[in-house]
Every structure is written in structure tokens, then in C-alpha cells.
Amino acid sequence: MSIINDNRRLLFLFFCLFILYLSITRATFIAQRVYPFPYRQIISSEARLNGLDPLLVVAVAYVESSFAEKALSTKGARGLMQIMPETGSWAAEQLGLEGFTVGHLFEPRVNIVIGAWYLHNLLEQYNGNVHLALAAYNSGPNHVNLWLQKGIWDGRLETLQSIPFPETRNFVLKVERVYQRYRWIYRETDYCLKY
């Protein structure tokens, strides 16, 4: 009788472990549908070229456009990573992209190349402070520099409410949250870079 009970317990334990395994893998499957990773090859390549975590780049694109290639904001930002025409033209010149026109910002590859390079540029400008770089990505470096000079905001997530622009506050917070979700969902892939 004891052997039968032991076998039942063992069978029950295996069944519970199997159910746990299915729920974990299914949860990841569902999470990847809610937080997809389109343009994975381009994003990963450009992120690594610029020393960025690809998941930060994909989080910016998710928040900026929900991956809509033809996204156009009311202020004129274009494409997946919502690049302003002036920023796109300047970045294209810095990158040596010959024949660039503002219309190219609707092409995913060009938009990601410029967006990743620009994010890298901002991270360098703000000594790797992701929150300052994200704020500058959204509102422009001139505003962020002014906030820093006047002591309005110190660049920390904990003092985000000090940012005078609600849109920028929300953008930084959304990207931070989405980035953390992407890091959890894609934690076992080779798309994360270790800093």
C-alpha cells in the first residue's frame, strides 16, 4: 500500500511541476504577444553598434509608436521611433547617410538607425543617465539642460515629478516600465546586453 501511495505522490508531484511549467511558458508566450519584438534583427544590430541594450531601443519604439512605421505625431515626429525631421536630418548628416530625405524616416531601417544613434548620443551627453537621455529624447536636450542648470530636475526617477512637462514625465515613466517588462519577458534571450 505504501508503494502505491508513494507512486501516487510522485505522479502528483510530476503533474504539478508539468502544470507549473506550462503556466510559466504560456505566460511568456502571452507576454510576448502583448510586448512583441518586431524588427528584432535591425534593432539588435543597431543597438549593439551603438552600445545600447536592444530592449531599451524596442521599449522606446513601443512607447513612441507601438511599432507603427507610418506614425506621424501632431508635432511632426515620424516613424517607429518618432524622430523629428530636424533631428533626423542632423543625425543623417552625422551618420553620413547620403540622399536622406525626411520621407526616409518612415522606413523602419532608417528610423531605427537614426533613433538608436540619437539615443546613444544622448546617453553619452548625459553620462549614461538613461532617465535624462529619455527626457531629452522626448523634449529635447535644451529643455533638459535648462532643468539641470536651474535645479528643476536632477535626472533621477524618484524625482520625476519635478519635470515641468507632463508629456515628458509620462514618456520617461512609460519607457522605464515597458523596458522593465521587456527585460523580464526576454530575459533568457541573447538580445540583452550586460552593462
78: three-class secondary structure by DSSP: strand
Angle in degrees, 0-180, between the axes of helices 85-95 and 108-125, rounded to the nearest 10: 80
Answer yes or no: are the C-beta atoms of 178 and 63 closer than 8 Å: yes
72: three-class secondary structure by DSSP: strand
Answer yes or no: are the C-beta atoms of 108 and 57 closer than 8 Å: no
Find cell 524618484 and name the residue. 158
For the cut 70, the answer to whether the pLDDT of residue 192 exceeds it is: no
User: What is the rounded CA–CA span in Å between residue 6 and residue 1?
Assistant: 9
Greater pLDDT, 27 or 147 = 147
What mean pLDDT value characterizes the chain? 90
Q: Sign (positive/negative) of CA torsion 56, 54, 35, 106?
A: positive
pTM for the whole structure: 0.84
One-letter identity of residue 161: Q
Q: Where in the chain are the domains? A: 1-34, 38-185
Per-residue exposure over 140-176, b if at least 16 CB sit within 10 Å of its own CB, e if not: ebebbeebeeeeebebeeeebeebeeeebbebbbbbb
pLDDT level of residue 35 (50, 70, 90 thresholds): very high
Can you read off the three cell numbers belonging to residue 145? Answer: 539642460
Q: Among candidates 167, 113, 165, 157, which has minimal Cα distance to 132?
A: 157
45: three-class secondary structure by DSSP: helix
Question: pLDDT by residue (tens digit) across 56-99?
Answer: 999 999 999 999 999 999 999 999 999 999 999 999 999 999 99
pLDDT level of residue 170 (50, 70, 90 thresholds): very high
- What CATH architecture does domain 38-185 belong to? Orthogonal Bundle (1.10)
Can you read off the three cell numbers belonging to residue 56? Answer: 531599451
Instruction: Considering the candidates 46, 64, 69, 98, report the single residue annotated as catalytic.
Output: 64
Is 64 marked active-site? yes
User: What is the rounded CA–CA span in Å between residue 77 and residue 46?
Assistant: 20
The predicted pLDDT at position 191 comes to: 47
Question: pLDDT by residue (tens digit) across 93-119?
Answer: 999 999 999 999 999 999 999 999 999
Contacts of range 154-161, beta carbons closer than 8 Å, 24 or more positions apart = 155/126, 155/129, 155/131, 156/131, 157/131, 160/131
